[in-house]
Structure 1
Amino acid sequence: MKKRVFITSIVVSILFVFTFLLAASWGSYSISFGDVIKTFFGQGSLLQRTTIWDIRLPRICVAIVVGVCLSTAGCVLQSVTRNELAEPGMIGINAGAAVAVVLLISYGSTSYYDTIGDVALFVMPIAAIIGALLSGFLIYFLSYKKGVSPTRLILTGIGVNVGINAFISLYQLNMSKGDYNQVLTWTSGSLWGSSWKFFWLVTPLAVVFLLLIMWKAKILDVMDLGDEIATGLGVKVERERRKLFFYAIVLAALATSVAGNIAFLGLLGPHIAKRLVGPVHRRQIPVAAGISSVIIILADSISRNAFSPIEVPAGIMIAIVGVPYFIYLMLRE
């Protein structure tokens, strides 16, 4: 197993470096891999430095944070619910964060990305976390009956997700054309408009909750065995489930606040990683983070360039892969 984990880690790392260089080089102004590397060491031309450091690199870094947050949240939710199909976009957490940010975008603004100031920018993750927490509390409350059944939790989450998305669709009908187009792009999951501000805004808090989850990795392993066995091994299941559910909510909210409602990313990475390196979370979570980062960087690169000058939201590109894979998992289960 150690050899398999080592080989998998090397392969994922190589794929990550390749997609990183591809995203930095591919665009309306193409830059060779060699020039990209030279630019990172300060040897590129002024145009190359501006293109990479001010335009492409912030977007890539935000994509990486989003991929890591959603994949880790997916790993946690799949253990908490003991269901391989669980992920933040499926059980309503992303939708709760999305509706809060949609209300923020539409509030008194007709050109969101042009008029948003630094203060409003800091409000975004706060609004997303509040929306996700309210959604998570509603899911937890509705699924609670002498404790929380994992099956009831995920089914309740699916219902809440459908309801919130229906509300967002109805709310969009009353928006101006400009706000409607911006919100539609954002709710589909897009990294358009990403900047270093977005990256530094969410990364510190994301690191804190990632460390908390890694600290709870062994508890996640035990919870995979079932509530009765976990209780027998001394784990206070209900209390730990609440904590881990909260950590997953915050990570999903942070990702949604800067990239919109990207579904299936929290499903693909964790599930592929589990098949490659097994269910032990201290191995699964880092590999899942790498795989999800590769997926979102590649999806964003394709969405930016394949249909130029039109930019397709990255969330749609991920869904093209995610939906068939989800159906495959559902049929297999």
Structure 2
Amino acid sequence: MNRAKRAAIVMAVIGVLILIALIFSLNSGQVRLSPSDVWQTLIGRGTAGEALILFDFRLPRIVISLLVGAGFAVSGCILQGTTRNALAEPGILGINAGAGLAVILYISFYPVQTVAPVYLLPAIALIGAGLTAAAIYLLAYQKQGDVSPSRLLIVGIAVAAGISAAMLVLTIRLDPAQYQFVSIWLAGSIWGSNWKFVTALLPWIVILIPAAFMKARVLNMFALGDLQATGLGTRVRKERIGLLAMAVGLAGACVAVGGGIAFVGLIGPHLARRLVGPQHQHALPASALIGALLLIVADTIARIALKSGEIPTGVVVAVIGAPYFLFLLARAKN
């Protein structure tokens, strides 16, 4: 079996798993709906209450989970490819923290209930993520014109720690209602669970993920090293900046809606490469599917784990991701 056929089979299986997770998620929650109730509601034969639960609460949250998971995973795959660093991920490198700081500053002064601020949130997050990524890149840049993968990781962790401290200072100054919202959001909560947030996030995902897929060949060149990539006709610096901008855009938009969810951009690409190989024409779409599957499963667990209320989705992802991150660190050390 050739690699392309195997990748197609793997992605088809993941797609089926996403469909199963979606059906289970639609049925699960504080108010349980049977599969027949869900089906009757989807075709317009359900009660008004069932339609409210399904279309106004669960379905937009599920769509956001799928989009955010795919966005974070593709962002992580791009970062790992451009930096040749297996541990690169928007959360670890501090990009999520930069986007979160910008959103917190915005939320501190303006409400997010109106339509206009909702659509501005991804742009605000992009500004914060972009400034943070630029600072990390400049601090990690070396005189010989290259960016060391290990140096980039260390600088990213340091910048993320500094931004987290700044966010802590800002949260102390918030009123109790804002503080509760921000603390839950920072833990990684799919808080924008209505169709306004779906339409705010969707253009970023629809534009940037296909654009990343079109750069799969360039990412394959980066895997050979900058000198070899240049020798094969790749404009390394220009392409790296463009790809980093895509990764930052995806991470920033996802943070604006999904909060500070980490590890999706780390786990998704790693599992994708194990399943379909290192070629990015297969790894990128597989990463998107795995990220979407991971987050919809994590969000479903977060909603049903407690009988009264729910836990942040980011906490569930961290329970899965933290041991995997330690495993990768142990492998890198060896």
User: Any residues of structure 2 matched to 1:111-190 within 5 Å, and which?
Assistant: 116-146=113-143, 147-151=145-149, 152-190=151-189
Determine the C-alpha separation between the residues in 2 that align with 1:126 and 1:63. 19
Aligned pair partner of 1:85 in 87, 92, 98: 87
Q: TM-score, normalised by structure 2?
A: 0.94
Q: Which residue of structure 2 lines up, in the alignment, with residue 58 of structure 1?
A: 60
**Gap runs ≥5 in structure 2:** none
Determine the C-alpha separation between the residues in 2 that align with 1:28 and 1:202. 26
Stretch moving more, 6-15 or 83-92:
6-15
Contact residue 4 and residue 282 of structure 2 kept, 8 A: no
Determine the C-alpha separation between the residues in 2 that align with 1:35 and 1:248. 40
Determine the C-alpha separation between the residues in 2 that align with 1:315 and 1:273. 21
1:106: how far off? 1.5
Amino acid at match of 2:240: R
Determine the C-alpha separation between the residues in 2 that align with 1:228 and 1:187. 40
Q: 1:235 to 1:159 in 2, by over 3 A?
A: same
Count of aligned pairs between the two proteins: 328
Stretch moving more, 301-310 or 272-281:
301-310
Contact residue 141 and residue 148 of structure 2 kept, 8 A: no
Whether 1:263 aligns to 2:254 is: no
Q: Which residue of structure 2 lines up, in the alignment, with residue 308 of structure 1?
A: 307
1:276: how far off? 0.2
Determine the C-alpha separation between the residues in 2 that align with 1:274 and 1:38. 40
Whether 1:234 aligns to 2:233 is: yes
Stretch moving more, 124-133 or 1-10:
1-10
Determine the C-alpha separation between the residues in 1 that align with 2:11 and 2:102. 37
Q: Which residue of structure 2 lines up, in the alignment, with residue 4 of structure 1?
A: 6
Contact residue 80 and residue 150 of structure 1 kept, 8 A: no
The DSSP-based 3-state class of the residue aligned with 2:190 is coil
Whether 1:252 aligns to 2:251 is: yes
The DSSP-based 3-state class of the residue aligned with 1:139 is helix
Determine the C-alpha separation between the residues in 1 that align with 2:210 and 2:242. 13
Contact residue 88 and residue 94 of structure 1 kept, 8 A: yes
Q: TM-score, normalised by structure 1?
A: 0.95
Contact residue 97 and residue 128 of structure 1 kept, 8 A: yes
1:148: how far off? 3.3
Determine the C-alpha separation between the residues in 2 that align with 1:248 and 1:187. 20
Q: Which residue of structure 1 lines up, in the alignment, with residue 101 of structure 2?
A: 99
Q: Which residue of structure 1 lines up, in the alignment, with residue 75 of structure 2?
A: 73
Contact residue 41 and residue 51 of structure 2 kept, 8 A: yes
**Which 4+ stretches in 1 moved above 6 angstroms?**
none
The DSSP-based 3-state class of the residue aligned with 2:107 is helix
The DSSP-based 3-state class of the residue aligned with 2:86 is coil
Amino acid at match of 1:313: P
1:184: how far off? 0.5
Contact residue 129 and residue 254 of structure 1 kept, 8 A: yes
Q: Which residue of structure 1 lines up, in the alignment, with residue 283 of structure 2?
A: 284
Contact residue 94 and residue 132 of structure 2 kept, 8 A: yes
Q: Which residue of structure 1 lines up, in the alignment, with residue 272 of structure 2?
A: 273
Contact residue 92 and residue 161 of structure 1 kept, 8 A: yes
1:4: how far off? 2.3
Amino acid at match of 2:313: A
Deviations 1:238-296 (A, max 9, x none): 11111101110000000001111110011111110110001111211111111111111
Q: Which residue of structure 2 lines up, in the alignment, with residue 203 of structure 1?
A: 202
Stretch moving more, 189-198 or 127-136:
189-198
The DSSP-based 3-state class of the residue aligned with 2:211 is helix
1:317: how far off? 0.6
Contact residue 190 and residue 260 of structure 1 kept, 8 A: yes
Identity %: 40
Contact residue 73 and residue 247 of structure 1 kept, 8 A: yes
Q: 1:232 to 1:171 in 2, by over 3 A?
A: same
1:108: how far off? 5.3
1:37: how far off? 3.0
